[in-house]
Amino acid sequence: MISKPHLIDRFIRYVTTDTESDPNSSTTPSTEKQWDLAKALVQELKDIGLSEVTIDDNAYVMATLPSNVDHHVPTIGFISHFDTSPDFTGANVRPRVIEHYDGKDIVLNKEENIVLSPKEFEDLLLYVGKTLIVTDGTTLLGADDKAGITEIVSAMEYLVQHPEIKHGPIKVGFTPDEEIGRGAHKFDVAKFGADWAYTMDGSQIGELEFENFNAAGAKVSFKGKMVHPGYAKGKMVNSMYLAQKFIQALPAHETPELTDGRDGFYHLHHMAGQVELTELHYIIRDHDTQRFEERKQLMHQVAKDLNKALGIERVSVEIKDQYFNMREKIEPMMHIVDLAKEAMETAGITPIIKPIRGGTDGSQLSFMGLPCPNIFAGGHNFHGRYEYVPVESMLKATEVIVNIAQMAAK
């Protein structure tokens, strides 16, 4: 398989290119700097020998590895996104390679006393003796999802260099703006031309996922009435107190920090208010379609009940669906999950099949006609300073891609 130093060099080159996306931008890509890596990938895909390498006006990159067999084989795709999360800065990433991790605390930043510790992140102990790539404690790393890009490019390079490995036609695609929910919005499924695909966008080695949250975003607005506080009795309406009542009316135990597995939640992620106007921004998540609809209905009902108690409409709720559970589209084609499972087992990996507590480009692509399960890319603790990735996990993910290509040709 591809050499470890070569893979590390490729990954570091990607993560040190700032590609943070911006949810407040209306362009695609949402930030100009995403073009830097997108254009570099175009050149790299050409350099390693892929054909039909294209980049469109929105920075979507596609390429083809032609079949080297003389019989029909389904066309398989592999997809990753090159933007990083705006939740934590991805500028000036300074990755550090730690050889033979000893299972102890890793001091990321001595000056600021930032420590990556197995006492807080127990999964570190899975990688004792492995090579880890970590941050300097001031930025995220960008393994989400530049690990996925590294693995796809490395696997394609390996297949080009080893024509004795038989495979059908393989498509690769790299997208902008996945972290702000738009990664698949302008993806040209017909142009891509795959029968199915895999996003390389999971976390821990072995993860294989074909179901994800149904997702919606909600904005709840509260209209108050400002009066001089000295003369406010019976007149002032404080919108922030109305917002407090709304928050308390939702199930207190159904929040991200108190749920796991297939549990859904309401997540209040932003709030801003004054007496006259307060706004709450929620994300609503559930794997079950009926419960998902019930969650949205509850938010509307709470607003209705508050307005009824007030005798005037001061609370309004706007809810927009974001993406849906791809299980509905994957289950009729479970052989594509079975293929990935077999490819992992062949690589000596125990598959971890579980629902995604989030979404990927694959969830939207599946509803756009491209069934797209999700495979591990190897990183942990995404979107923050404690992000890290074991190099051996990236090497194994690369091997899984090669195995899928080879097995599909049989």
Which positions are annotated as active-site residues? 83, 178
Beta strands in 152-295 (DSSP E): 170-175, 196-202, 207-209, 214-223, 265-273, 277-286
Identify residue 407 by its one-letter amino acid code.
M
The rounded Cα 386 to chain-centroid distance in angstroms is 17
Q: What is the DSSP letter of 356?
A: B
Give which of 340, 273, 1, 296 is closest to 155, Cα–Cα. 1
In which residue are the tokens 């609809």 written?
293
Could you tell me if 163 and 49 are in contact, meaning their C-beta atoms sit under 8 angstroms apart? Answer: no
Side-chain half-sphere CA neighbours of 280 within 13 A: 25
Could you tell me if 325 and 363 are in contact, meaning their C-beta atoms sit under 8 angstroms apart? Answer: yes
Give which of 108, 389, 130 is closest to 116, Cα–Cα. 108
Cα–Cα dist 59/188, whole Å: 12
Residue 95: phi and psi, rounded to 5, are -70, 155
Could you tell me if 207 and 349 are in contact, meaning their C-beta atoms sit under 8 angstroms apart? Answer: no
Buried b / exposed e over 292-307, threshold 16 CB at 10 Å, is beebbebbeebbeebe
Cα–Cα dist 222/334, whole Å: 46
Q: Strand 132-134's sheet: what is its strand order?
A: 96-98, 132-134, 388-390
* 3-state SS string for 374-389: EEECCCECCCCCCCEE
Q: What is the DSSP letter of 348?
A: T
User: Residue 164: CB partners within 8 Å, gap ≥ 6?
Assistant: none
User: Alpha-carbon dihedral of residues 119, 124, 125, 130, nearest 10 degrees?
Assistant: -150
Could you tell me if 168 and 128 are in contact, meaning their C-beta atoms sit under 8 angstroms apart? Answer: no
